[in-house]
Amino acid sequence: MVADAKRIVALREELARHDYRYYVLDDPEVPDAEYDRIMRELRELEARHPSLITADSPTQRVSGAPTREFGEVEHRVPMLSLDNAFSDDDIINFDRRVRERLELAEGVEVDYNSEPKLDGLAISLTYEDGVFTVGATRGDGVKGEDVTTNMRTLRSVPLKLRGDRHPKLIEVRGEVFMSNAGFEQMNRDALARGDKVFVNPRNAAAGSLRQLDPAITASRPLEIFFYGVGAIEGGTLPERHSELLSMLGEWGLRTCPEIRVESGVAGLLSYYRDIGARRATLGYQIDGVVYKVNSLARQRELGFVARAPRWAIAHKFPAEEEMTQVRDIEWQVGRTGALTPVARLEPVFVGGVTVSNATLHNVDELTRKDVRIGDTVIIRRAGDVIPEIVRVIEERRPRDAVAVLLPTVCPVCGSDVSRIEGEAVARCMGGLVCAAQRKESLKHFASRRAMDVEGLGDKVVEQLVDAGLVESAADLYSLTVQQLLQLERMGEKSATKLIASISKSKDTTFARFLFALGISNVGEATALALAEHFGTLQALQAASFEQIMLVPDIGPVVAEDIREFFEEPRNQQIVGQLLAHGVSWPAPSTGRSEHQPLSGKTFVLTGTLPTLGRADAEALIRKAGGKVTSSVTKKTSYVVAGDSAGSKLERARELKVSVIDEDELARLVALR
């Protein structure tokens, strides 16, 4: 048995080396027949000695019975999305913002890691002690689906990292995709079997990865490129993103061969045009390129805004356009009552998907473009952006084309439609009387980034409102299994599961609750800022317009929207009912009390601190009761200065504001 055990280890190492040369280096060492012979020998030995089978054995890439559903994985570090750029000016402004935040001198250029933006599916893989343990989709950025078993079937995913210098735990990020050749061959095989074919490689990759039977995933030509790291424990990262990618390659994690480091705007735009010119020859689909500040220290200093990093951006390729005909124009009513004209189109394939609807945004846009029922129009779609009508081909307009006017009453509830002078948006004045507004409000309340009520999808919400079972968000918490059984396609098991999910959502955070309320102009970032500033709902409800204006980045329009929301009796009633039903969140561990070490103090950060990233320093100050702003004024208590501090340091000296370093900040918070 000892000899067989040694032979098993040797065969596994040999197969891992061949996988690395074939899938990562694209430089196979042996023909397929020899690879298959080695695999057969390993299978025979493992069958003879089942106790020697390990999870990282190449024979275990496809194992186990099909699952009934995917579990949930919470990402240790959120998987953020990227802001998009569509023009040279967007990139010029992005680079300007980066240099300004880093306070770089005029003429100093930033190095950026540049790479193609694959049109695939974002994925996170966790390796512990070098062994692959968990695979998860991006999901909503915080939680994703557990696709560990399916990810094991990809030959370009090493089950064990090469070498021995990897961290104790590392979470790597990548993009699963299908090559053009693999996609075309898969569709040819499907046609030969009489099966349906996929529309495009991206949909094919996403559908293949989410198969409940891993054997089906294994039969699909899926590939992966790795582009970054999330969580890391028991190890350190290099100083630059480009070096990080080289390190991933050394561990056997495949990276894109088109990655380059470019300096300044000129370098970025040159890279963009080069990749764009070679786009059709790459062998896989991309919809743009991605630029990331190459210095990891600078990435930490730049931090994040809402759900996107300030140090990266996706530069999209020009939108794809097609021609089609307008069948009808309807008015949709959103959760705030806004009426949006939507064109129903003759279905047309554009940008990788079949498009049958396009937004016209508002009545001014409808009038300006003069879109009529029966018109032939140009449709544009860029990446995942909502399709839009670019223009009407007037020479093809039929004589019976019908112009559409803004309705005077809501098409859903019959309430008056009002349009405030100077505003582009017209609104239904029905409020919660309007079923459309109730539906959209409930969809928002239950969404993953708000209260995260799993199983409460659009169709269920629409049925609940249509059946008169729910009028406001508070009514969700009074629902019973018996009431849910009245809905179409709702069995007892599903109903019980949904009630449990609704109950589970009661345990939330203050920021999520505020976002879920659907206050006009209050997105996730604003909700978080309000929660951090006021600490409690009672404090926010009692706040005056002037007090709300003290919250960073909140202007008079948003402050007025917030004040009006909490003054409206119906909103007060719904909020009270939600709390009465048990919706709650942890009390602030550090409220804005006078007992906090930094209570009432305002800080400005400048330069690079020795150990704290910008986001970490801001969090430390806020947790201790302090406030962080972006500009130095006479009201600033302290400026925390690090290396390469710029104009903010000079401004602090002019105004005689106290300037401290990281150690002094730590002493103020009583950490050192």
Task: Compute the distance between CA of residue 284 and CA of residue 296 in angstroms, rounded to an integer.
Answer: 28
Structure tokens at 72: 């949930």
For 40, residues 6+ apart whose C-beta sits below 8 A from its C-beta are none
Tally of CB atoms within 10 A around 31: 9
User: Torsion-angle region of residue 324: left (phi > 0), alpha (psi -120 to 50) or beta?
Assistant: beta
Task: Compute the distance between CA of residue 505 and CA of residue 318 in angstroms, rounded to an integer.
Answer: 41
Torsion, CA 50, CA 55, CA 60, CA 64, rounded to 10:
90
Note the Cα 176 to chain centre separation in Å: 16
Residue 355 backbone dihedrals phi, psi, to 5 degrees:
-105, 130
Tally of CB atoms within 10 A around 245: 22
Strand pairing category for 658-660 and 638-641: parallel
Tokens 């402004």 belong to which residue? 93
Torsion, CA 477, CA 483, CA 487, CA 491, rounded to 10:
100
Angle 180-193/201-209 helices, nearest 10 degrees?
70
Nearest to 126 by CA among 297, 223, 249, 253: 253
Structure tokens at 242: 């480009």
Torsion, CA 646, CA 647, CA 652, CA 655, rounded to 10:
160
Structure tokens at 301: 């200093």
Note the Cα 491 to chain centre separation in Å: 32
Task: Compute the distance between CA of residue 334 and CA of residue 441 in angstroms, rounded to an integer.
Answer: 8
Tally of CB atoms within 10 A around 423: 12
Strand pairing category for 388-392 and 72-74: unpaired
Indicate the DSSP class of residue 146. B
Strand partners, 339: 333
Q: What are the angstrom distances between the C-alpha of 244 and each of 109, 166, 241, 261?
A: 21, 12, 5, 13
User: Torsion-angle region of residue 66: left (phi > 0), alpha (psi -120 to 50) or beta?
Assistant: beta
Strand order in the sheet with 312-316: 84-85, 312-316, 286-293, 111-118, 260-263
Question: Annotated catalytic sites, by residue?
Answer: 117
Task: Compute the distance between CA of residue 42 and CA of residue 40 in angstroms, rounded to an integer.
Answer: 5
Residue 591 corresponds to which amino acid?
G
DSSP 532-570: HHH-SHHHHHH--HHHHTTSTT--HHHHHHHHHHHHSHH
Structure tokens at 603: 């800080």
Task: Compute the distance between CA of residue 492 and CA of residue 482 in angstroms, rounded to an integer.
Answer: 8
User: Torsion-angle region of residue 370: left (phi > 0), alpha (psi -120 to 50) or beta?
Assistant: left
